[in-house]
Chain A
């Protein structure tokens, strides 16, 4: 149980374009989903927390107008990187909280490269 999928697993886009990443909990309902970013050789950095049906809560320093998060259902959250720039190139990982929301199960990650 507790399987989380992400799509796509990797994406290359041109500077200025937008990219949407999907995160799905496959075998449980996740009222809370989390979006992280990880640069090479660094730890996970929480970007935002999203609760189903409400606006996401962004961490300090994360631009909410650039990283759009939608949590439309109990099994799907999306992260859209708008007007991507090379510095947005990173490994983006979502996680879903189980019934005990502090137990988080991670998706396989999406590697974004902006050229």
Chain B
């Protein structure tokens, strides 16, 4: 069973704060990990992907991967109201497809 777990939230942070989104996965053989942002009524948009242990930074976003703990996170610095959305964690177990978590709903309060 390839499971991807996320806290459904909602997670509320004030504008300018750091939002921390977490994801755990069950398949230890998973090779690549993705964070998607989905606004209400829209399709997911790829934000970041990470393959190696450690941190990967892209602008205000930092993805963190710890394969030993089977844990991947997304940090959003200087959160903006426009960051309010549902964030989906996705895991590639080595085949061509992705397994998605149920998503965490983030609200950034102005």
User: What CA separation (Å) do A91 and B42 show in the bound complex?
Assistant: 9
User: What CA separation (Å) do A102 and B36 show in the bound complex?
Assistant: 13
User: What CA separation (Å) do A103 and B44 show in the bound complex?
Assistant: 13
Q: A42-B102, A43-B101, A102-B32 are in contact. Are A108 and B43 (CB under 8 A)?
A: yes
**Which A residues, 43 to 89, have Cβ-Cβ distances below 8 Å to chain B?**
43-44, 46, 49
| Docked-complex contact A43 and B49, CB < 8 angstroms | no
Q: A102-B32, A102-B92 are in contact. Are A44 and B46 (CB under 8 A)?
A: no
The number of residue pairs between A and B whose CB atoms lie closer than 8 Å in the complex comes to 47
- Residues of chain A touching chain B, judged by Cβ–Cβ distance below 8 Å, are 32, 34, 42-44, 46, 49, 91, 93, 97, 101-109, 111
- Residues of chain B touching chain A, judged by Cβ–Cβ distance below 8 Å, are 31-32, 34, 36, 41-46, 49, 88, 90, 92, 96-98, 100-103
| 27 A–B contacts from the bound complex (CB under 8 Å) | A34-B98, A42-B102, A43-B88, A43-B101, A43-B103, A44-B44, A44-B88, A44-B100, A49-B97, A91-B41, A91-B43, A93-B43, A93-B44, A101-B96, A102-B31, A102-B92, A102-B97, A102-B98, A103-B46, A104-B98, A106-B43, A106-B45, A107-B43, A108-B42, A109-B42, A109-B43, A111-B41
